[in-house]
């Protein structure tokens, strides 16, 4: 409703957010954003007070990734704004639609090194898709509409809107209402990112596809972002093509598909890496030949011709020269190439690799084997459970040993590999999907990076489950020190960790520690059936490693499988 | 190292130059010349950017093209010349 009262910039902000269907925002107040928080007081939008702006930014990301909506976070100027930067970088790297609102000092003080003034616009250039600084309250609504459109159109990403304090309290000439609009209007419909794909390319691609004897589908995060999971699965079922996935692509391919070989790359499965190294045609779908995927680039898929489906032209030929590119929306373009193939022999070989290199879970001794525990959680948890992870060994084990039936159910910091992601992302996911279970798989190092967010869980009584894989180490770095730095364990010991159970209890979170295999099943059951937040601390051997591992600057078929 | 000239039409935002330079530097190109021509229509800026790198100019072309404020961009091929350096 448009009220008769004069409307401030702050009120305009929340009304426009509502026009875009925003119901929840994450943030932290401060001096230069007070008029906005004052307007929030009258708004129907629900604000979640996080305990660090970095937490707010990751919660916005988790919210966006779990629900495929735009995530929104708010911070004050100066240190509040700089605390958002890591989250913005993370969102840029994984193409997540986030709109970040920062307060700025009043216009008259800008450029004078005022209290809590930082050039957040300048800082944002390297870590956002686009950014705005509002200089006239009457332009605020239009800028916010553009921010939403830019965050969502083409390759998605984070957008920052910096709003000086006096603009937040200035009155607009024309008030705006808060009625949800169907779809954000594009900034400039003419330069739509959804490029028309060229018919000649489709022809060439079809010809390559028909000639291929050993094709492999290389599935990336773009599939989920394009909401093209159904189209991808249809493509696989029509073509019968063997597939592999990136970290961010996990969940796109049905995990039970007989010729799905799992994750490729540095910690990929043997089957996935061998199939890609042997294939004669690699079809990249919403993937970007990231260095963690390709290993030594010059020896990646050495016999393969490449067809690259993507929405971002800048990704074509960026790291690997392609034979054909199909630009545009995967939802539209994937079906164009779905033709039945006759590749029975290759299909058989891939299926054989899938079976003969399947994961093994034998692990001597009484101590808990994290891969087996994660697999058990994965097979016990309800369908549609959301898993978030932090970064390190536990992250790779989760990617390897848990299975997901949709990319919105596996949230991990891929491109940035940001420790501290897991807990706040789980909070965002839980808020966007209150009826689904959310489990954060974290490490003893990463957990401490945003541990303050336990307070957010407490305040909003969120039933987030936390599985803390505790090796008393910065395990992934320790593994590399052991393998590639002569075992010189520099600054990776965490044997003086706090008492995590006591820590959880301090936030009214039920908690338990387990150390032996025989305790695993009962503990998982207790956690999954507990009504409310729960932290399960799982002690494991400090020396357990993630296998396989493709050493740096090595071809993906030369993986190490143990020491 | 190859030298290339890019012709860019951009929104005349106070920030567009900063963005162009940031992307150019990050993507591994050195600016060897830059000229701006405010167009008749004051909201638009024509920019000629001369850059040098051993990387493919296509990379920079496509990355700059993603900038929201850039409405047109082309590589002037005839300007490409081999530098002595
Ligand atoms: C913010 C940040 N700082 C540093 C790193 C480098 N890093 C990657 S994994 C890792 C260790 C993580 O330890 P933990 O969370 O305990 O996970 P583990 O590997 O032991 O499972 C570190 C320090 C990072 N990825 N992110
Ligand atoms: Mg650890």
Nearest CA to ligand 1 atom 23: A474
At residue A195, φ and ψ (nearest 5 deg) are: -65, 145
A345-354 burial: b if 16+ Cβ within 10 Å, else e? ebbebbbebb
Mean pLDDT calculated for residue range A396-418: 98
The DSSP H or E segment spanning A325 is: strand A324-327
* Any atom of ligand 1 within 6 Å of the Cβ of A391: yes
pLDDT value of residue A522: 98
Chain A residue numbers touching B67 (CB-CB < 8 A): 130
Q: Residue B56 and residue A317: Cβ atoms within 8 Å?
A: yes
What local confidence, expressed as pLDDT, does residue B38 receive? 80
Look at residue A197 and tell me whether its pLDDT is greater than 70. Answer: no
Give phi and psi for A284, each to the nearest 5.
Answer: -90, 130
pLDDT given at position A142: 97
Contact flag A314-B22 (C-beta cutoff 8 Å):
no
Please tell me the distance between residue A420's alpha carbon and the centre of ligand 2 in angstroms.
Answer: 12
What average pLDDT score do residues A31-46 get? Answer: 98
* Strand (E) or helix (H) holding A531: none
Query: What's the pLDDT score for residue B43?
Result: 87
> Binning pLDDT at 50, 70 and 90, where does residue A190 land?
very low
**Lowest mean pLDDT segment, chosen from A188-197, A215-224, A300-309, B63-72:** A188-197
Q: List Cβ neighbours of A461 (8 Å cut-off, separation of 6 or more).
A: A532, A533
- Write down the pTM of the prediction: 0.96
The pLDDT tens digits for A50-65 are 999 999 999 999 999 9
Instruction: Indicate the average pLDDT of chain A.
Output: 95
Whether A60 is in the pocket of ligand 1, judged by its Cβ within 6 Å, is no
> Which positions in chain B have a beta carbon within 8 angstroms of at least one beta carbon in chain A?
15, 18-19, 22, 26, 56, 58-59, 62-63, 65-68, 71
Distance A160 CA to ligand 2 centre (A): 33
Could you report the per-residue pLDDT of A116-157, keeping only the tens digit for each? 999 999 999 999 999 999 999 999 999 999 999 999 999 999
Test site for ligand 1: of A420, A445, A496, most ligand atoms within 8 A of the Cβ: A445
Consecutive 10-residue averages of pLDDT for chain B (85 residues): 94 91 98 89 90 96 97 80 45
- Enumerate residues 395 to 434 of chain A having a beta carbon within 8 A of any beta carbon in chain B: none
In B, minimum Cα distance to A153 occurs at: B68
Annotated catalytic residues of A are 53, 115-116, 165, 476
Ligand 2 centre distance from Cα of residue A446 (Å): 7
Q: Can you state the angle between helices A140-152 and A9-19, rounded to 10 degrees? A: 30
Neighboring chain B residues of A126 at a CB cutoff of 8 Å: 22, 26
More confident residue, B77 or A559: A559
CA distance A545 to A221: 26
Q: What sections of A217-268 are H helices per DSSP? A: 222-225, 229-239
Contact status, residue A357 vs residue A270, Cβ threshold 8 Å: yes
> Does ligand 1 have an atom closer than 6 angstroms to the CB of A95?
no
Q: Indicate the domain borders of chain A.
A: 9-169, 189-356, 370-539
Cα distance between residue A72 and residue A148, in whole Å: 10
For residue B78, the model assigns a pLDDT of 60
User: What is the CB neighbour count within 10 angstroms for residue A237?
Assistant: 13
Q: A478 CB under 6 A from ligand 1?
A: no
Nearest to A125 among B18, B62, B68 (CB): B18
B68 neighbourhood in chain A, CB within 8 Å: 129-130, 150, 187
Average pLDDT (A282-306) is 98
Given CATH 3.40.50.970, say whether it is the number of domain A9-169: yes
Rounded to a whole number of angstroms, the CA Rg of chain A reads 24
Ranges assigned E (strand) in A334-492: 386-389, 410-411, 438-443, 465-470
Which domains, and CATH codes, for chain B? 2-84 (3.30.70.260)
Q: What is the pLDDT of residues A230-240, one digit of tens each?
A: 999 999 999 99
Distance CA A498, CA B30 (A): 49
What pLDDT sits at residue B83? Answer: 44
Is residue A380 within a helix (H) or strand (E), and if so which, with residue range? helix A370-380
Domains A9-169 and A370-539 share a fold: yes
The structure tokens listed for A113 are 């090194």
Q: What mean pLDDT is predicted for residues A175-200?
A: 62
Q: Are strands B44-53 and B2-11 parallel, antiparallel or unpaired?
A: antiparallel
Distance A516 CA to ligand 2 centre (A): 17
Q: What is the pLDDT of residue A3?
A: 55
Mean pLDDT of A355-375: 97
Residue A457 is predicted with a pLDDT of 98
Compare CB distances from B62 to A126, A133, A314 and report the shortest one's residue: A314
CATH architecture of A370-539: 3-Layer(aba) Sandwich (3.40)
* CB of A66 closer than 8 Å to CB of A408: yes
Closest CA to A407 of A219, A194, A193, A128: A219
Q: Are strands A305-310 and A243-245 parallel, antiparallel or unpaired?
A: unpaired
Whether A371 is in the pocket of ligand 1, judged by its Cβ within 6 Å, is no
Q: Which residues surround ligand 2, an ion (CB under 5 A)?
A: A 443-445, 471, 473, 475
The count of CB pairs under 8 A between chains A and B is 28
pLDDT at A264 exceeding the cut of 60: yes
Query: Per CATH, which fold does A189-356 belong to?
Result: Rossmann fold (3.40.50)
pLDDT score at A333:
92
Q: Answer whether A313 sits within 8 Å of B63, measured CB to CB.
A: no
Rounded to the nearest angstrom, the minimum Cα separation between B77 and chain A is 19
| CB A209, CB A241: distance < 8 Å | no
Given a cut of 60, whether residue A70 has pLDDT beyond it is: yes
Query: What distance in Å separates the CA atoms of residue A77 and residue A165, rounded to the nearest whole number?
Result: 9
Distance A545 CA to ligand 1 centre (A): 14
Closest residue of A to B61, CA-based? A314
pLDDT of residue A196: 55
Question: A499-506 contacts: CB < 8 A, separation 24 or more?
Answer: A500/A444, A500/A447, A500/A468, A500/A470, A500/A535, A500/A537, A501/A535, A501/A537, A503/A451, A503/A454, A504/A454, A504/A466, A504/A535, A506/A454
């Amino acid at each position: 409703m448009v009220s008769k009262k004069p409307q401030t910039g702050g009120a305009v902000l929340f009304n426009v957010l509502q026009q875009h269907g925003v119901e929840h925002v994450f943030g932290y107040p401060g001096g230069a954003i007070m008029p906005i928080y004052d307007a929030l007081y009258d708004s129907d939008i629900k604000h979640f007070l996080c305990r660090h702006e970095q937490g707010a930014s990751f919660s916005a990301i988790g919210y966006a990734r779990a629900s495929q909506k735009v995530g929104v976070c708010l911070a004050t100027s100066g240190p509040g704004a700089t605390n958002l930067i890591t989250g913005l970088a993370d969102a840029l790297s994984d193409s997540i639609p986030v709109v970040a609102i920062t307060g700025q000092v009043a216009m008259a003080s800008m450029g004078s090194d005022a209290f809590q003034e930082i050039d957040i616009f300048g800082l944002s250039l390297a870590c956002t898709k686009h950014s705005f600084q509002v200089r006239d309250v009457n332009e605020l609504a239009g800028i916010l509409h553009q921010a939403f459109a830019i965050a969502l159109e083409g390759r998605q990403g984070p957008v920052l809107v910096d709003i000086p304090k006096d603009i937040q309290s200035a009155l607009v000439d024309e008030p705006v209402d808060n009625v949800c609009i169907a779809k954000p209007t594009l900034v400039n419909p003419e330069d739509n990112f959804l490029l028309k794909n060229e018919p000649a390319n489709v022809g060439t691609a079809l010809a390559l596809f028909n000639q291929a004897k050993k094709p492999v589908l290389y599935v990336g995060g773009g599939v989920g972002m394009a909401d093209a999971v159904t189209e991808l699965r249809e493509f696989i079922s029509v073509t019968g093509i063997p597939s592999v996935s990136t970290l961010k692509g996990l969940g796109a391919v049905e995990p039970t598909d007989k010729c799905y070989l799992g994750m490729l790359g540095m910690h990929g499965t043997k089957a996935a890496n061998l199939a890609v190294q042997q294939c004669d045609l690699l079809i990249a779908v919403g993937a970007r030949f990231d260095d963690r995927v390709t290993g030594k680039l010059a020896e990646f898929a050495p016999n393969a011709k490449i067809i690259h489906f993507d929405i971002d032209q800048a990704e074509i030929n960026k790291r690997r020269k392609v034979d054909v590119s199909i630009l545009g929306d995967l939802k539209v373009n994937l079906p164009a190439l779905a033709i039945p193939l006759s590749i029975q022999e290759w299909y058989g070989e891939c299926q054989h690799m899938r079976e003969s290199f399947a994961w093994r879970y034998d692990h001597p001794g009484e101590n808990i084997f994290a891969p087996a525990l994660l697999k058990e959680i994965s097979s016990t948890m309800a369908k549609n459970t959301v898993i978030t992870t932090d970064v390190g060994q536990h992250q790779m084990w989760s990617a390897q040993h848990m299975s997901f039936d949709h990319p919105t159910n596996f949230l991990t910091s891929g491109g940035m590999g940001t420790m501290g992601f897991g807990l706040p992302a789980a909070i965002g996911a839980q808020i966007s999907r209150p009826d689904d279970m959310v489990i954060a798989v974290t490490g003893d190092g990463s957990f401490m990076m945003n541990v303050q967010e336990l307070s957010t869980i407490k305040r909003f009584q969120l039933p987030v489950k936390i599985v803390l894989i505790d090796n008393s180490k910065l395990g992934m770095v320790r593994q590399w020190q052991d393998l590639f730095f002569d075992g010189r364990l520099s600054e990776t010991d965490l044997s003086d960790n706090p008492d995590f159970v006591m820590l959880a209890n301090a936030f009214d979170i039920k908690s338990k520690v387990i150390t032996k295999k025989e305790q695993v099943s009962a503990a998982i059951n207790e956690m999954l059936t507990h009504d409310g937040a729960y932290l399960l601390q799982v002690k494991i051997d400090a020396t357990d490693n993630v296998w396989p591992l493709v050493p740096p600057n090595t071809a993906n078929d030369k993986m190490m499988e143990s020491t | 190292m190859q030298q290339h000239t890019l012709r860019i039409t951009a929104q005349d935002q106070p920030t567009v130059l900063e963005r162009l330079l940031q992307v150019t530097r990050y993507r591994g190109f050195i600016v060897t010349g830059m000229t701006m021509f405010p167009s008749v229509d004051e909201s638009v800026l024509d920019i000629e950017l001369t850059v040098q790198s051993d990387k493919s100019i296509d990379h920079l072309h496509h990355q700059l093209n993603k900038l929201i404020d850039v409405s047109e961009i082309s590589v002037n091929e005839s300007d490409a010349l081999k530098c002595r350096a």
